[in-house]
Structure 1
């Protein structure tokens, strides 16, 4: 788990066709800010956000929580990523888990942060894509399968 002020987000739009196939279209990754002595886990992604924007590193409370949900919405609506793919990656962000648990729709069984004392699961019964979850250092990469 990682606080939003420290969480970078990297992604490729659903219609992105990269010369670098290491991160497929519609994929998203969440991980810590990159230190000078660490390898760049965002390589292969076209876009970055979250704590990549320096102003996000000082936000707290409701302002930070709003930005986390704004990021989620932008990836799903603006870039066409599947909601389940983004949800799976964002489960690494503390504030995202807090928000969805407060809504009574916390992580489902088998998902990071599942709490049987909190309501969980999707509100609708719709198919979710098959995904691959890859860990590179402290970052997690969620890729829809082709």
Structure 2
């Protein structure tokens, strides 16, 4: 229950944002928050709340698994030098890599978390955050 108290603002934010199928559970000293957001902006706002509670996401005691795949957005081309672009669980290089987008690939931009990170989804359904510097509007 202590983790639910620590992340109360985040849980309340998910509830007030209307996250569908919201599930909150603690297991092995980790709090899991799962659900479906109506937009990338909702997901970005939840990550912003999380960053206020745990700056730089260092505690490692929360898994925020909010799906925004129903959200519509724009298209962007991956403009890395030649390598693949990492797609991460959250907006930061310390976040786990959940997939990659190839150099030149066109992906969906759901929203911009901030000036550096964009919430993206590939045609294969991989959703996460990519460094905006390597994206160019298609």
User: Could you state the TM-score of these two structures normalised by the residue count of structure 1?
Assistant: 0.27
Question: Which structure is higher in helix share?
Answer: 1
User: Could you state the TM-score of these two structures normalised by the residue count of structure 2?
Assistant: 0.28
